Structure 1
Amino acid sequence: MVIFAQVNDMNSKVILWVCLVVIFVLSHCYSFTDERDVAAINGFYVALGSPPLPGWVPNGGDPCTENWQGVQCVISNITAIVINAANLGGQLGDALGNFSSIITIDLSNNNIGGGIPGNLPLTLRAFFLSANQFTGSIPDSLSKLTLLTDMSINNNKLSGDLPDAFSSLTGLINLDLSFNNFSGPLPASMGNLSSLTTFHMQSNQLSGLLNVLEDLPLKDLNIENNLFSGPIPEKLLDIPNFKKDGNPFNTSIAPSVAPPQSASPQSAPPQSASPPHHSGSRIPDTKQTNSSNEASSQENSGSGNNGKMSTLKVVAYVVVSVIITVVIILLIIFCISKHQVRKSNHDKLVKSQAGITGRRFNEPINEEHSAKTNNIVGQFAKGDHNDEEKENKHKIDMRETDLIILPPPPPPLLTPPPPPQLRHVEKLVAKPIAPGRHVSTSQINIPATSATSFSVAELQQYTNYFNEENLVRDGMLGKVYLAELSDGKLLEVLKLDNWNSRIPVDDFLELVLSISDLRHANIAELVGYCAEFDQRLLVYKHFSKKTLDYVIHVGDDLNGKLSWGARIEVALGVARALEYLHRGCQPPLVHQNFEPANILINDKLVVRVTECGLSSLMSSNSVIQLSGRMRTSYSYEAPEVNDGGEYTDRSDVYSFGVIMLELLTGHKPYDSTRPRAEQHLVRWASSQLYDINDLKRMVDPSLAGRYSEKSLSCFADIISSCIQQAPEFRPAISEVVQDLIRMVKDLKAARN
């Protein structure tokens, strides 16, 4: 019995140990994400204040398999954290340096404060902290990020001198330090940024000389509104996009005490103009404190330098006073005219809406619809915007004829819709509002447009929480994600970032209103929008994932289909889209960002142009605040635009000419891998468009001579006219369309 009891005791111990080992193994096998990365992201999450991010937990968890929002992994390692405009607060904390393999950190457009931690992961390549509340300066540990290629910390509250920590950042391409309070000179180590092409540092208090930048391969340099002085290095003047206004170049600050007269005869004042006891040195009149000196200066003001200074002061005061008076008068006139325009537009809106009864303006609306309309408006008035409704009551003046309720009757506005269904309950059909007309913020849920209003929750569901696997394009205004509805229908969601994600709701709705009416076979169609919380999103019909830029320069099965005739028809489709913007819209629209990356193309070689009507988002106030997606090439912009001029329809024509050159040659507009003479496409090709032999040598080799000389010559003539340096010598796009139509007809006739 004793032996039997001992055996049972040993068996129980063995079983217990086996269970413990199994539990240990299972616990470690269950967590797929690297333990170091889990610990690092937990610490980072706590430092942010544990915000409500889908999937995130403050302790443990498995980010790579549990689909934490904004977290991207490669196998078991976290490689990116991308959370834009999520209203994050707190600080970054000291856990960032514990990530083992992270490459990208993008936390732009949030409210994160504190300083930038010195413990940064050495594997970082892209570091974007734009539009937050960071204070302090850049840590010296930046020098350890030897793999860094892109960094933007613009629009924060950073200050102090820039650290001399750039020597080892030889791979840095884009750097944005703008709209902070940095001061002092540029550190000498910036001269080692041998890959830097885009550098924005406008609106700081940086001073000193710019010599440290003169040997860098810059293509885009903005130093506006700083304190840089001295002469501008000649090499910087050759930068394609160099903005330098708002700096005291070629000026000097007068010293508080002038040197002795005997030291420099030219700089000394005339001896006759000063009393004998002033012969040693002269104190400027702005610093005089001695009463006897003031008396002497006043007695000799008629013939001395002080008299001249006083006269100059009087003249300066008069000029400044006149300028201020004129500015005040102009402001008063502007305010009065603006008020009258708004009042007139409001009256027109009320009158025009009196006859609107839905999609058909002459169809009567019955009493039942009126009652439902009043019910919906009443529900909205009781919501969170009640105070704003009272303040803007004179702007709303909603009538029961303004809305049409689509059957079946919608649920109450305050009740969230079931996840798999689209929400169409507040759809309003009305006459387009002219550009500049005010749209009340109370119309967030009842927009005056036929576009569908989506909620953030819906778009998150359809895009898998804006997962990077759904990313279609990364454009100038933000990222575009593929969205799949419950019925299988595909849409594309443009998520505006940076400054554009915070534009006022009424301005955003005016934008939606203006572009929702763009209807053309070669233009991407807007079908919806979202303006909830701090999100601004535009929803388009999905057309194709491929862009003309990809097909020409990366190449796929479509590249083989780009025969000579196909290239002409592609050019014609693109030109027709531009013609519609320039002549078919009222008022006419200028695209401002016309390039192959914004031209979609499907398997049938049909093209559609994106970002139409969004030029207001590409103003200087928006583009300068891009979160790392800064443009590294301005090769599509017309010369007058690069010289500080305005965009016009002729600048779009220039961009179109560059696109035709790409179709002709297969070259990129700028390619540093080509021989030096061929790197700038327009510069290289423009002198060879008039000789047929030179033309044949330029043609894309994949065409293998399958084109006629006459057709090639006509194509070159169109290009030559479009890329003229002076805008007045470029044709209207309607003329280009007619020329391409004739080329297409000639090709078809030759085939027959």
Structure 2
Amino acid sequence: MHQKNIVSLWFVFFGVLTSPVHSKTKSPDVSALNVMYSSLNSPSQLSGWKSSGGDPCGDSWEGIKCSGSSVTEINLAGLGLTGSMGYQLSSLTSVTHFDLSDNNLKGEIPYQLPPNVAHIDLSRNGFSGGVPYSISQMTDLEYLNLGHNQLNNQLSDMFGKLSKLKELDLSYNSLSGNLPQSFQSLSSLKKLNLENNQFSGPINVLANLPLKDLNVENNQFTGWIPEELKDIDSGTGGNSWSSGPAPPPPPGAKHHANQHSTKNDDGKSVKSGVTIAGIALGVLAAIGILIALFSRRKSPPPSHFLDEERISQRRSFTPLASRELSQDFHTGIRKDFKDNSRSLDSSASIDIKSLQNSPSSCPKRASSDFKQSYDDNEFANRLNSKRSTSVRAISYSLADLQLATGNFATGRLLGQGSIGRIYRAKYADGKVLAVKKIDSSLFQGGRVEEFLQIVSNISRLHHPNIAELIGHCSEQGHNMLVYEYFRNGSLHEFLHMSDDYSKPLTWNTRIRIALGTARAVEYLHEVCSPSSVHKNIKSSNILFDAELNPHLSDCGLATFHQRTSQNLGVGYNAPECTKPSAYTVKSDVYSFGVVMLELLTGRMPLDSSKPKPEQCLVRWATPQLHDIDALGKMVDPALRGLYPPKSLSRFADIIALCVQLEPEFRPPMSEVVQSLMRLVQRSSFNYRDDFGGSRRMDDHDY
């Protein structure tokens, strides 16, 4: 009997061991779906979903499929969902299929999306804005459908790494501009739908793609339809194609037999292409020889011109890829400049003399912003892109700006700055600019020449993380500066004015914002000669473009802050700034440290709603920056614990150096940049991590 009981217990125990076990879903996946559920207005049709906690894999949430403890598919098509998708989708690192098509979702497509996805379908919703740049890093993407929405921006050059993409549908939107050159890299693309948009320019970038199905109807395309596309299943009507025979392809372009045969007005075939191409090649070859001979006799441009080119390279995204931190930068970039310096022609629109004589010109010095390793194509593209950049801002008439701002209507007011108000200027062609109307009290005595000198100095500041000056106006006692308009607002708005379900600032994004802003300040302090002190670094002066790249505004306006240091943002002033003359580059470093504290804690520099010991952010936070337990409690709750603890600690160490009471103990901005870059390296960040969401990491991740 005893032996029989033992056998029975053994079978029970063995049965427990071999019975199916539901793995509890990974916490980042749960958190991302919780936020998504709340952002979708907690719809009842999503059975099993919760706004906090739960087990999506174990409890079979509606539309969710898993592999083990990881969510791999989200299919919520046609459920009548409203709201938005939330800001933590990039935590879903195992999701390969993402379908929210045929719903009623509004607003911009989130910047953060599942980073390793192969199938995205967001078609037939009400999304506006542009195609998020994070898609550029989805190297596994095979299917992308954003058709039948209200997307209305131009396409960024984001397709260079999407070699696996087979189907792309952007139809029935209001997308405009030329097709990006990186379309040429879509080496697997079989089906492309671009119909019913506002695209313009030629479609030559599509000529050598393996397309089987193409629709470009009802756009504003011009030029000729490439011969390579004429034999595939395509729709091309409703465009402004050129009539008559197409010109011969440029030297080196791919030729096909049918390209050499054109038709005259009578419909007769004539073998003219070969002859024309031969003549064109001969002429181009002769011109090339003459240019080569001439360029050898020309002396290379002044070295400061190369440095200006070098510091002015504009990126559509401020990358944090580990390849950028390569120690081979100095050798590689010098070789690039040596090989390309002679190709810089004298027609480049940067005014060399004015740069030589300008107090704001940049000397022969490399900042850490350039520690990147470009390939030859990237270098050539960046070099050529700067040839259209001029140091002279456009002069706008007062009447033009009055019309564009509705006579500076209250409804167009973007904000009140320390030296004046900022208005949104909207033009008939859809262009939007920001107009800073400087307080007239700052120009008592009619110092128009002083204003124009300030404009001249600001217009020479070119850096990817500095808000670009577009133009100016000085009429009838009005002095205005015209800037790029940043639709995503400021860091202050993201941190302090967003609701809990629209704030997309993950830990990776915050580090990227800090690094980009630090590079801008480093440029002002250590690249420009003489050094330029900002004097007004604060979160409301850090503006975001469509990809959440930071752009420091109010650069070059320190002259207006000479009257009193109280013009500066309250809570950002360094202790020594009791009078304007005491303000130095080290005071800027302190203000930047306060911005980093905002990124860390999500708190404002001064907040009277907090208990008295916590009202001053620096005073409250500084004693806790080296206490790992206290640090975990003061971190922004919006991060929901999704950050690497060691990365947080190192970030706090940098802050502690910046906000020291004694100016001489604060580091120069170049050291701050290097520290942030080392933080990136140690955290093993790469492009995918940067576009991916924050996730909990164990110590072995380091």
Instruction: Normalising by structure 1, report the TM-score.
Output: 0.39
> Relative contact order (C-alpha < 8 Å, sep 6+): which is higher?
2
Instruction: Normalising by structure 2, report the TM-score.
Output: 0.42
Q: Could you say which structure has the larger radius of gyration?
A: 1
